[in-house]
Structure 1
Amino acid sequence: MKFAALLALTLSSSAFASDYDLVIRNGRLLDGAGNPWVAGDLAIKNGRIAAIGRVQGLGKREIEAAGRYVAPGFIDMMDQSGDVLPENGDAVNKLQMGVTTVISGESGTPVKAAELPKYFRDLERKGIAVNFGTYYNATDAREHVMGDGAGAPSQVQLQAMRDEIDVAMKAGVFGITTALIYPPATFQTTDELVELAKVAGRCGGFYATHMRDESADLLRAIDEAVAIGERGGVKVEIFHLKAAYAPQWGRLMPEAVQRIAQARARGIDIAADMYPYTAAGTGLSVTVPSWVFADGRDKGMERLRDPAVRERIKREVASGSLPGWSNLVEASGGWGRVLLGNPQSSEYERFRGKSMVEIGAALGKDPADTAWDIVLAALPKRATGLYFMMDERDVETALRQSWTSIGTDAPAVIHLGSRDEPTVPHPRVYGTFPRVLAEYVKRRGVLSLEDAVRKMTSWPASRMGLVDRGVLREGLRADLVIFDMARIDDTPSYEKHAVAPQGIDYVLVNGKVTLENGAYTGAKAGRVLRHACN
């Protein structure tokens, strides 16, 4: 029998007395803690790791893993699946990346704080294929109390926001989030966020943030996040750490890393996650200065139709960032490096993957008008773009830091392989975790295999307080991935993002085989992970 066939062979031992539910034989066991692999077997019983080493007993089922690595399941530290999983709990694109646990909530939860217990129960009742934990968005609390416009909350309104977050924390969220480049989050001040963070801090929670600026004012944004953590008494997680500013590629990221390291040396519990790509992906409306939305989103879109407003904001985009607004056009190096992702309208469908300069030339329009016309044509949906703002040197610098973990900034998909999902059509949706292994371990040698796996397993588990998973250890939850480093590859690309990566053979979630030979089995053994608030 050929080696490849032997690897895929699954043996049935049902004719004999079995000691375990499943035994994985002859794997290269990577414990997730950063140690070198060791040869051995791993047995599972009742959803937990029951034995590691040379397992003498039989399993009801056995998987031959010779030549493959067996590691803890990967943990996605910046997931966007909170509103997807209630509709489709399969999360196949996550499983195909080796992901067994997702931490969601940057963009909020689909329900209000008081409805979270039911939301969690419904997810468990319907079934989910991965473990799911979430934060609660501080801007959602603000919007529920005072709408989506600018302005400072009164003391009564601020207390109502605190109360909302307190309810969310007691329901089991891991902390609060912000996404401070998007209105109305843009209008929240540092002092307001400190007061809200204090509520999460009472429960040992997080302040997790898409910072106010990831470009020219990156260092100031880090300082704000540190201040909120220090004054609010919370742990700080920086979402998708990047130095997204073409004029300072190669210089800004080392300074950002030093700023975070200095905060950690002072005792601030701060860390960051990241995705291993040079393009960001978000809505095209972020190219509009925040002041346009000061009276709410609907009024802002109305203003965007006004030619006089357009002329003003064109000048502002050309001049650089404004107070309270991060200019992603400047950060990318111009409209020629802003590409159309999902137009969400048939009128512009043929221009997917083209830059605003290219589309404008084809239509005889200014690139700024092009972008904003696409935004308006998509309403009420959200047109998206790809912003090529980062440099590989900076990606590598961030990856090398011991305190960075990995997050996709992407949801589970509803329809596998479709490019018409409402998310940004970015390769991170299907390829993030295999890319770390294929590109930064195998091809470039930026990380050792052991450290790359640590960043995706034990470190995020420790960070989030998930004490029952994240390492290979007897008694812990059997969230596992079996992968082949010889075949591992991040096949998704910017041109064709909705394709499966290669080399992830098996994924087990709480002891259930959920991905087999790269295909979803239909198992839904995932659990809702709740943060304890005592």
Structure 2
Amino acid sequence: MTDLVIEDAKIVDGTGAPWFRGAVGVTDHEISEIYRNTDPDIDATTVNADGRVVCPGFIDTHSHSDIELFDNPTLAPKVRQGITTEILGQDGFSMAPMYREGGAEEWSKQLGALAGQTDIAWSWGSVGDYLDAVEESGVAPNAALLVGHGTVRFNVLGMDSRDPTDEELEEMADLVTEALEDGAAGFSTGLIYTPCTYAGTHEVQELAARLGSYGRPFVAHIRSEGRWIWNAFDEFIDIGAEEGIPLHLSHFKMGGPEQHGKVNRATSLIEAARERGVDFTAEQYPYTAGSTMLSAVLPPWVHAAGPKGTLEYLTDDDARERIRQDITEWRITGWENIGALSGWDNVVIANVESEENTEVEGASIAEIANDRDTEPVDVVCELLVEEELSVSITLHMLDENDVQEIFSYERVCVGTDGLFGGKPHPRVYGTYPRILGTYVREKNLLTLEEAIRKMTSLPARAMGLDHKGVIRPGMDADLIVFDPVQVESRATFENPRRYPKGIDYVLVNGEFAVREGEMTENLPGRAIRK
């Protein structure tokens, strides 16, 4: 018996095929029927779409909600924009496995600006334990987890800046296999972030090779998106070709003026890789600014002794001078020097933990330096010490023409890469509505059907989510109803905490997470185990 019918709908099924008028039936968390009749005579609860679009729920292929979902399980900023599935464990940073003694506390401090702080006890050890904790806590969207390179390295080596021994590398690889057996959706790395950046290609490849028998993706923030981007592409593609594993490029971008206008060169490399037999996809956010931890502007050696050691370096005059010279003189070959790459005028504080420093949220490092009559590097060091490393930033370093060209490329899907708290990047609240309102309706960059494919079936295919991303009988009932004439993002860099317009209903596993434009407080999401 059908439980729910969404009638009088313009159905965009997620495949890229043209829309058609009809109705969608839902039974027991699944899509049960597709009707060509817009008003089927069915004894069920009905929602009249009144000609609005019905499409699959959006899949956030790059989420940092790993800890946020415990404190705010509705994840309203995500769900209100139509996101029904989150892919966690990005950039090499998963919250599990965690077996190192005292590791949870140290890891949470290391990642505080990225994942947020919580008072909830880390009750898990394995990936399976973490996914159990997610389900026990309850969450509105579905959640899948990538096992992080940095996490497995931290379990075995801590924050040491060295190559592992053969035995240590085997131990790390076994942790990857254990995580995959526990249901991890893939393996991620973030090769600009410590401790991942300490790894050579051999280490990365040995760990990624464990994906081979599972067919799950290797998801990478590659070693550079700016000055060294072409070497980084080569490293990533060669691993995929030699190991025969699917690759997924995180937040595809051309960082810094030196690389602006070179999207075609990058997409040509991707097409050449696919000709070599490499299954290559990517994702992107539709903004000219990124967001990350302020500590990421520091040279890698500063992090090698863990959070406590980092704070000691930041208060040492000699170490601070070395930091200054490494940044201003680009003294470390291959290091993604994002502070110098962006320019301190373009590095903006997004979030701090203390009330004492909230006035700097929304200000650039250059502005703060001017107000304090000091140097930008000193501002960075002082803020990180005052906030015990928990500072996140927005980086304005991309070109809008590049952003649009990348989004038009057929292999690219969508992710928010959103960090919560303070004055966040507007992508936390507005990524998907911005695409629908700005890139589809206003700029006519893509058809509605192609844009929705990039937000639904393409990410489902890239992440191996076989029951999501398409409106078909038997698929999970993750569905959205939105008005294509009204939908738009209202989040801006000045006022980022604003919910979108035009997204009226969001169903997760057949239950309403959003009804008539408002959160329901239902928590119908599931932890996805592969």
Q: 2:293 aligns with which of 278, 283, 295?
A: 283
Alignment correspondent of 1:387 = 395
* Cα distance in 2 between the residues matched to 1:43 and 1:171: 33
Give the residue type in structure 2 aligned to 1:377.
E
2:222 pairs with one of 211, 218, 223:
211
Letter of the aligned partner of 2:413 in structure 1?
S
Q: Deviations over 1:224-257 (max 9, x none)?
A: 1112222333211111111111233113x22112
Give 1:230-245 correspondences, 5 Å limit: 230-245=241-256
1:136-174 per-residue CA deviation (whole Å, 9 max, x = no partner) reads: 001211111111120111111111111111110100001
> 15, 18, 24: which is aligned to 1:33?
15
Q: After the TM superposition, which residues 237-316 of structure 1 pair with which residues of structure 2 at under 5 Å, given as runs?
A: 237-251=248-262, 253-316=263-326
Distance 2:137 2:332 in 1: 46
Instruction: Say whether the 8 Å CA contact 1:197–1:233 is kept in structure 2.
Output: no
> Which structure 1 residue ranges, 4+ long, deviate > 6 Å from structure 2?
none
Distance 1:401 1:341 in 2: 30
Contact 1:89 1:129 in 2 (8 A): yes
Partner of 1:409: 417
Quote the Cα distance in structure 1 between the aligned partners of 2:143 and 2:86: 5
Deviation at 1:87, TM superposition (A): 3.5
Aligned residue for 2:361? 352
The C-alpha deviation readout for 1:47-75, integer Å capped at 9, x for no partner, is: 22222121533243111112310001111
Partner Cα separation in structure 2 for residue 365 and residue 346 of structure 1: 22
How far residue 93 of structure 1 moved from its aligned partner, in angstroms, is: 1.4
**C-alpha contact 2:486 2:501 (8 A) present in aligned 1:** yes
Give the equivalent residue in structure 2 for 1:370.
379
**Number of the residue aligned with 2:46:** 62
Residue 232 (structure 2) pairs with residue 221 (structure 1)? yes
State whether structure 2 residue 478 is matched by structure 1 residue 479. yes
The residue type paired with residue 302 of structure 1 is: E
**1:385/1:470 Cα in 2 relative to 1: closer, same or farther (>3 Å)?**
same
| Residue matched to 1:178 | 189
* Cα separation, 1, equivalents of 2:524 and 2:310: 44
Residues 1:342 and 2:351 are matched in the alignment: yes
SS of corresponding position for 2:277 = coil
Is contact 1:76-1:406 (8 Å) kept? yes
Counterpart CA distance in 1 for 2:451 and 2:40 is 31
Residue deviations 1:427-447 (CA, integer Å, cap 9, x gap): 011111111111111111111
Secondary structure, aligned partner of 1:342: strand
Q: Aligned pair 1:319/2:322, yes or no?
A: no
* Separation (CA, whole Å) in 2 of partners of 1:356 and 1:279: 15
2:435 paired residue number: 436
Distance 2:134 2:350 in 1: 30
SS of the residue 2:150 aligns to: helix
Distance 2:42 2:370 in 1: 67
Aligned AA (2:369): G
Work out the CA distance in 2 between the residues paired with 1:167 and 1:515: 36
Rounded Cα–Cα distance in structure 2 between residues aligned with 1:151 and 1:466: 36
Q: For the Cα contact (< 8 Å) 1:434–1:489, is it kept in 2? A: yes
3-state SS, counterpart of residue 351 of structure 2: coil
Instruction: Return 227-236 or 110-119, whichever deviates more.
Output: 110-119
Residues 1:455 and 1:59: Cα distance change in structure 2 (over 3 Å): farther
Deviation at 1:324, TM superposition (A): 4.1
2:107 aligns to what? Answer: none
1:109 paired with 2:94, answer: yes
Task: Quote how far apart the aligned CAs of 1:119 are.
Answer: 2.3
1-structure distance, mates of 2:256, 2:275: 27
TM-score by length of 1: 0.90
Measured on the aligned residues, the alpha-carbon RMSD in Å equals 1.7
- Residue equivalent to 1:44: 26
SS of the equivalent of 1:39 reads strand
Aligned partner letter, 1:297: P
Q: Deviations over 1:424-473 (max 9, x none)?
A: 71101111111111111111111111110000011111222222221111
- Cα gap change, 1:402/1:425 in structure 2, threshold over 3 Å: closer, same or farther? same
Q: Does 1:457 align with 2:456?
A: yes
- 143, 156, 164: which one pairs with 2:175? 164
Q: Which residue of 1 aligns with 2:108?
A: none
* Aligned-partner Cα distance in 1 for 2:129–2:258: 48
- Secondary structure at the counterpart of residue 42 of structure 1: strand
Instruction: Encode CA deviations 1:159-203: one digit per residue, 9 max, x unaligned.
Output: 111111111010000121111111111101110011111112222
Structure 2 Cα separation of the partners of residues 90 and 304 of structure 1: 37
Counterpart residue identity of residue 108, structure 1: F
Does the Cα contact within 8 Å between 1:20 and 1:57 map onto a contact in 2? no
Q: Please list the CA deviations of residues 376-433 of structure 1 after superposition, one character each: whole Å capped at 9, or x if unmatched.
A: 1110x4111111010101101110111101011126x6xxxxx54xxx7110111111
Which deviates more, 476-485 or 294-303? 294-303
Matching of residue 497 in structure 1 with residue 496 in structure 2: yes
Between the aligned partners of 1:37 and 1:102, the Cα distance in structure 2 is 26
For structure 1, which runs of at least 5 residues remain unmatched after alignment? 1-18, 414-418
- Matched letter for residue 437 of structure 1: L
Percent identical across equivalent pairs? 35
- Paired amino acid for 1:50: S
Structure 1 residue 319, shift from structure 2 partner: 2.2
What letter corresponds to residue 395 of structure 1 in structure 2?
A: V
* CA deviation map 1:255-299 (0-9, x unaligned): 112111211121101111111111111111112111223333322
Letter of the structure 1 residue corresponding to residue 454 of structure 2:
K
Any unmatched runs of 5+ in structure 2?
99-124
Q: Which residue of the partner structure matches residue 370 of structure 2?
A: 361
* Offset at residue 323 of structure 1 (A): 2.3
Q: Secondary structure at the match of 1:167?
A: helix
Equivalent residues, number: 501
Provide the secondary structure at the position in 2 that maps to 1:341. strand
Q: Counterpart amino acid of 2:297?
A: T
- Contact kept, 8 Å, 1:337 with 1:387, in 2: the verdict is yes
Change (3 A) 1:405 1:66: same
1:9 is aligned to none
CA contact (8 A) 2:8 2:50 kept: yes
AA aligned to 1:157 is E
Q: CA deviation at 1:97?
A: 0.8
Give the AA of the match of 1:41.
A
Distance 1:248 1:526 in 2: 40
